[in-house]
Structure 1
Amino acid sequence: MASSHQHLTSSDLKTILHSKRANIYYIEHCRVMQKDGRILYLTEADKENLYWNIPIANTTCIILGTGTSVTQAAIRMLASAGVLVGFSGGGGIPLFMGSEIEWFTPQSEYRPTEYVQAWLGWWFDDDKRLLAAKQLQLARIQFLQQVWSKDKELRIEGFDASEPHLQALLMQHQLDIPKQSEVSYLLQQEARFTKQLYKFAAQNTQLGEFTRDRDAGDRANIFLNHGNYLAYGLAATTTWVLGIPHGFAVMHGKTRRGALVFDVADLIKDAIVLPLAFICAREKASEQEFRQECLRAFTQHKVLDFMFEVVKNLALMHSANK
C-alpha cells in the first residue's frame, strides 16, 4: 500500500484549490520528512519516536518554529503540492529570513500571468494605486460588518455590528476613506480606526486599558501577534497563487519586499483575529487554543475565498476600461 503513494504527481496534489484548503500548521521541536510518499513530522517522546501525518493537499502553509528541521525530499514534495513554508521563532513569531517577512515559495513557471499583468498595468500610477488602497480598506470594513453580523458566538461576546457605538465608528470610517488624498493619510486614518477598535475590544472584554505593543508579554498582544502571522500566511498564499509579487503593495511601504502580504492580511485581521485575541485573553486560553479558534473562524467565514475575490477584483479593476 505504501508503494502506491510514491507515484503521486504534482497534478494529483493540486486537486484542492488553494482558496478551499483548510489547514495551516505551526510545528516546533520536530523533524519534517518525506516517507512513503507522505509528509510526516517526527517528535521524540521519552521512549519512542512518534510520526504524525500532514495532509499537504489540503494545506496552505506550514510554519516551522523552534527546534525544527526539514529534509530536502520533504521540501520538494511540499513544492509539488504548492504548500508555502516559513521559518519562525517560538509560537509562530517572528517570521525569520533577515529582518523582513520572506517565504520559501515553491516557484512555478505555470502560474497565471493575467493578474500580475493587470496589477502592474495600474500599479505605477499613483492615483490608481491610491484608489486600490481605498478599495482594500472598504472591503476590510465590509468584511468586518459581515462577520460581526453573522457570527453568533462573536455577537454573544459583544462584537455585534449592530451595536450603536460600533455602527457609528464603522460608518464614519467608511465616509473618511474616500476623502484621503494620499496613501500616507489613509494609513493614518487606518491607524486611528484600529486604535478605536482595540479600545472597543478591551472594554467589551473587561480587560481594562490596552496598548498595542508587539513586544509586550500580555496575552492580548501575544495572541494578536500570533493571529496576525496566521493571516500573513493566508495573504502570502493568495498573492503567490495569483502570481503577484509581494513587493507591489498599495498601502504599506513600497520598499518592503513583503508589503503586499501586509495589505492583504489587513482584510481579515480586524474581523477575526482582533476579537478572538481579546476573548481568548480574557478566558486565559493557551496559544494552541487561540490558534484553533482562529483556524476554525477562517474556515467558517471562508477567508481565503474572500481574499482571492478581493485581490482578483483589484487586479482587474481597470481592465474593463481598456
Structure 2
Amino acid sequence: MEQLTDLKSILHSKRANLFYLEHCRVMQKDGRVLYLTEAKNENQYWNIPIANTTAILLGTGTSITQAAMRMFASAGVLVGFCGGGGTPLFAGSDIEWFTPQSEYRPTEYIQGWLSFWFDDAKRLAVAKQFQLTRLEFIRTVWENDRDLKTEGFNKDAQDITQALSSFEKKIPLMQKVGDLLLEEATVTRQLYKIAAIRCDARGFVRAPEQGDLANRFLNHGNYLAYGLAATTLWVLGIPHGFAVMHGKTRRGALVFDVADLIKDAIVLPWAFICAKEKMKEQEFRQQILQKFTEHKALDFMFDSVKKQALQPLSINSGGVA
C-alpha cells in the first residue's frame, strides 16, 4: 500500500478528533477529505482533519467515496458504519470497523498479549487488573473534574465511596471471569442509581432500546468510547477477539473490555447530566468528546493496554502480584 507518511506524524494516542456524521457525503477533493451537506440553496463542504482524527462513525444517510476511504486508510483513521445517533455499530452485535491495512504496526504488544491469553488464570488476573484500573480512573476523573463535582459526582461522597470500595475488595476474591462480570454489573447498576438520584431521574432503568434521553445518551457515548477502544487496539496490533472479560466467542469483545476502562468515569455521569438539561444529541456528543480530551481518555486506554501486554504476570491466590 502506498505510504503517505506525512499523514502519520500525530500519534494516535494524541489525536484530538472523533467524528460522527449523518446525512452527508464524504469525499476526496483537492487532496483533502471533505463531507458535503446539502443546504436549501447551496451545498456546503466541511474539512475533516484526517491526520488528527482517530475514528469516523458514519450514521444515517451517509455515503463515502473510494478515494476518501483510501485517504482515511493512508492516515490510519478507523471507519465504522452505524445507525442514527451513533448506535448501533453494524453488523449485528459485533464491533465492525474498516481498519487500515498496515504491516508496520509493532509486534511486541500482540506477542505479550498472547503470552498470557491462553492461560485461564493469567487472563483472569488481567481482567481483575482492568477492573482495578477502571475504578482508579473513576476516582481520578471525579476528583479532578469541577463540573462533575458541581453536579454531585464526588469520589468522596459516601454512596460513591461505598460502591467503589465494595467492588474493589471483592475483585481479588473472584475465581472466575463470570463471577467478576456479575460483580461488575452490580457496581455499574449502583452507579446508574447514584447518577439517577443526583440528576432527578429516579426510576431510571438501563434499557438500550428505550427512547428516553438518558438511555439514548448512554448508547451514544458508549459507541464513541468503542471508537477510541478500537483505535487503541488497531494501533497496538491486538485483534479484537482476544478479550479478557467479555465472551471469548464475540469478535469485538476486547473492544468492550477496553472501552469499559473509561465509560463509567465519563460517559455515565454526563449522559444523566445532559439528559437532565435536555441537551440535543449534538450538544451531548460535543460535551463527551471535550471530556475525553480533557481527561486524556485515549492516552489512558493506550497506557492501560500496553501495561498489561508488556508486564510479566505472576499469579497468586489474590490475582496479580
Cα separation, 1, equivalents of 2:67 and 2:314:
44
Would you say the 8 A contact 2:122–2:313 is kept in 1?
no
Which digits, 9 at most, give the CA deviation of each residue in 1:145-165, with x for residues without a partner? 000000000001000001122
Q: Which runs of 4+ in 1 moved over 6 A?
A: none
Which digits, 9 at most, give the CA deviation of each residue in 1:128-171, with x for residues without a partner? 00000000000000000000000000001000001122112211
Cα separation, 2, equivalents of 1:35 and 1:104:
21
Q: Which residue is equivalent to 2:211? A: 217
Q: Which residue is equivalent to 1:126? A: 120
Structure 2 counterpart SS, 1:158: coil
Q: Which residue is equivalent to 1:199? A: 193
Cα separation, 1, equivalents of 2:92 and 2:260:
23
Identity of aligned residues (%): 67
Q: Which residue is equivalent to 1:264? A: 258
Structure 2 counterpart SS, 1:294: helix
Structure 1 counterpart SS, 2:69: helix
Cα separation, 2, equivalents of 1:320 and 1:257:
28
Q: Which residue is equivalent to 1:301? A: 295
Q: Which residue is equivalent to 1:16? A: 10
Q: Which residue is equivalent to 1:96? A: 90
Cα separation, 1, equivalents of 2:260 and 2:93:
20
Cα separation, 2, equivalents of 1:320 and 1:132:
11
Cα separation, 1, equivalents of 2:105 and 2:267:
30
**Mapping for residues 216-235 of structure 1, pairs under 5 Å:** 216-235=210-229
Cα separation, 2, equivalents of 1:33 and 1:153:
38
Structure 2 counterpart SS, 1:31: strand
After superposition, the Cα gap between the structure-2 partners of 1:320 and 1:107, relative to the gap in structure 1 and judged at 3 Å, is farther
Deviation of 1:319 after TM superposition, in Å, equals 7.2
Structure 1, unpaired ranges of 5+:
1-7
Q: Which residue is equivalent to 2:63? A: 69
Establish whether residue 281 from structure 1 lines up as the match of residue 281 from structure 2. no
Cα separation, 2, equivalents of 1:124 and 1:9:
35
1:36 pairs, out of 30, 44, 51, with: 30
Which digits, 9 at most, give the CA deviation of each residue in 1:68-126, with x for residues without a partner? 11111100100000000000111111111244221010121111100001100110000
Structure 1 counterpart SS, 2:88: coil
1:241 pairs, out of 235, 252, 277, with: 235
Cα separation, 2, equivalents of 1:310 and 1:318:
14
Structure 1 counterpart SS, 2:26: strand
Count of paired positions: 314
1:154 pairs, out of 148, 167, 177, with: 148
Deviation of 1:46 after TM superposition, in Å, equals 1.3
Deviation of 1:316 after TM superposition, in Å, equals 1.1
Q: Which residue is equivalent to 2:133? A: 139
Q: Which residue is equivalent to 1:57? A: 51
Cα separation, 1, equivalents of 2:200 and 2:93:
35
TM norm structure 1: 0.96
2:220 alignment partner AA = H
Cα separation, 2, equivalents of 1:217 and 1:319:
44
Structure 1 counterpart SS, 2:36: strand
Structure 2, unpaired ranges of 5+:
316-321
After superposition, the Cα gap between the structure-2 partners of 1:219 and 1:43, relative to the gap in structure 1 and judged at 3 Å, is same
Cα separation, 2, equivalents of 1:15 and 1:101:
27
Cα separation, 2, equivalents of 1:164 and 1:72:
54
Q: Which residue is equivalent to 1:110? A: 104
Would you say the 8 A contact 1:118–1:319 is kept in 2?
no
Establish whether residue 45 from structure 1 lines up as the match of residue 44 from structure 2. no
TM norm structure 2: 0.96
Cα separation, 2, equivalents of 1:145 and 1:27:
32
Which digits, 9 at most, give the CA deviation of each residue in 1:37-84, with x for residues without a partner? 100001111121110000011100000011111111100100000000
Would you say the 8 A contact 1:61–1:233 is kept in 2?
yes
Deviation of 1:208 after TM superposition, in Å, equals 1.2
Would you say the 8 A contact 1:115–1:244 is kept in 2?
yes
After superposition, the Cα gap between the structure-2 partners of 1:9 and 1:107, relative to the gap in structure 1 and judged at 3 Å, is closer
Would you say the 8 A contact 2:159–2:194 is kept in 1?
no
Cα separation, 2, equivalents of 1:231 and 1:262:
9
Q: Which residue is equivalent to 2:319? A: none
Cα separation, 2, equivalents of 1:89 and 1:155:
33
Structure 1 counterpart SS, 2:134: helix
Q: Which residue is equivalent to 1:184? A: 178
